[in-house]
Amino acid sequence: MKKSIVQAKVYKVQQLNATVRSMEVIAPELAAEGVPGQFVNVRAVKGNTTLLRRPLGIADVCVPRGSIILIYRVIGEGTKVLADLKPGDYLDIVGPLGRGFELESAKPLIVGGGLGLAPLLMLAKFGFGNGRADLVIGGRCAEEITCWEGLFRGNVQQTFITSDDGSVGEKGTVMAALEKLLQKDYDCVYTCGPVPMMRAVAAACEKAGKKCQVSLEKYMACGLGACLSCACENAEGKRVKVCQDGPVFWSWEVKEW
């Protein structure tokens, strides 16, 4: 897959909830080349440019405008620099990077939690067009979940919501909905989110005899396989690089989460 180094102009910035931001940047090369599940490595051109790049999943693309949408949570110095950017500022972006989702499912079920929903949005919209995938959204509370429900609206068929505090949807984790859904005719589950959630989803899929693809979230300093910061052990006992061999894996390929 072709990789580009792009000076991408910020087109639009949105605040989705108290800590989550959406940023649309003009990057025609990335909009044309990126596939669901891939990511980009970004660095702000202004501000503290000594910070390492930050890997962000491609959440959406607008081909007519030649733009990609990145969604991130403001949690540290690097993402605070991103949060200070305004339309007209620039990002230095390397991408698209990594292995995306394999789209062989006739009846897909997407399961996401927290910020792991970001790369799943592009999967729902472009991987499974015409809204033929169903979706399970998990989060802590209604305030965290509502924005995601809106982003996925029109891009999925049915949406099942769970919240830790019961303020929206079914009370509990995504497993509260998933165990019942796995009794239906879904042939592949696609998941991204906190590691305990993905591990539980993969185990439930294995028990139910369903295929499962997971998108791992690891610290990636370079995103190009050189620094080895994201290396982990696969089911065969070999070291693999999440940034190159993933971030998407079949669940049975993963040993070290």
- In-domain check, residue 228: no
Name the residue among 181, 71, 202 with its Cα closest to residue 134. Answer: 181
- In-domain check, residue 179: yes
Q: How far apart are CA 227 and CA 250, in angstroms?
A: 24
pLDDT on residue 175: 95
The answer to whether residues 27 and 8 touch, using CB atoms and an 8 Å cutoff, is yes
Within this chain, do residues 56 and 122 fall inside the same structural domain, yes or no?
A: no
Within this chain, do residues 116 and 164 fall inside the same structural domain, yes or no?
A: yes
Tell me whether the omega of the peptide bond preceding residue 28 falls within 30 degrees of 0, making it cis: no
Residue 23 pLDDT exceeds 60: yes
For residues 111-128, give the mean pLDDT: 95
* Tens digit of each residue's pLDDT (9 = 90 or more) over 184-243: 999 999 999 999 999 999 999 999 999 999 999 765 655 565 665 667 777 777 777 777
pLDDT on residue 104: 83
- What is the domain extent for residue 84? 4-97
Within this chain, do residues 82 and 135 fall inside the same structural domain, yes or no?
A: no
Q: How many CB atoms lie within 10 A of CB 61?
A: 23
Q: What is the three-class DSSP state of 39?
A: strand
pLDDT on residue 234: 72
Last residue of a domain, one of 50, 69, 97: 97
Count H helices, E strands: the chain? 7, 15
Task: Count structural domains, the chain.
Answer: 2
- In-domain check, residue 102: no
Within this chain, do residues 30 and 120 fall inside the same structural domain, yes or no?
A: no
Q: Classify burial at 158, counting beta carbons within 10 Å of its beta carbon; exposed 0-12, middle 13-18, buried 19 or more.
A: exposed
Q: How far apart are CA 118 and CA 113, in angstroms?
A: 9
Within this chain, do residues 80 and 112 fall inside the same structural domain, yes or no?
A: no
Within this chain, do residues 115 and 91 fall inside the same structural domain, yes or no?
A: no
The position carrying tokens 């009794």 is: 183
Within this chain, do residues 93 and 112 fall inside the same structural domain, yes or no?
A: no
- In-domain check, residue 28: yes
Residue 189 belongs to domain with CATH number: 3.40.50.80
pLDDT on residue 242: 78
- In-domain check, residue 31: yes
DSSP class of residue 53? P
Percent of the chain's residues with pLDDT above 90: 70
Within this chain, do residues 169 and 134 fall inside the same structural domain, yes or no?
A: yes
DSSP for 199-249, written as a single string: HHHHHHHHHHT-EEEEE-----SSSSSSS-TTEEEBTTS-EEEHHHH-BEE
- In-domain check, residue 232: no
The position carrying tokens 């802590």 is: 140
Residue 22 belongs to domain with CATH number: 2.40.30.10
Q: Classify burial at 254, counting beta carbons within 10 Å of its beta carbon; exposed 0-12, middle 13-18, buried 19 or more.
A: buried
Q: How far apart are CA 69 and CA 65, in angstroms?
A: 11
* Tens digit of each residue's pLDDT (9 = 90 or more) over 59-90: 999 999 999 999 999 988 888 889 999 999 99
- In-domain check, residue 226: no
Q: How many CA atoms lie within 13 A of 200 on its CB side?
A: 15
Quick one: which H or E segment has residue 187?
none
Within this chain, do residues 152 and 197 fall inside the same structural domain, yes or no?
A: yes
- In-domain check, residue 52: yes
Within this chain, do residues 129 and 39 fall inside the same structural domain, yes or no?
A: no
Last residue of a domain, one of 97, 116, 138: 97
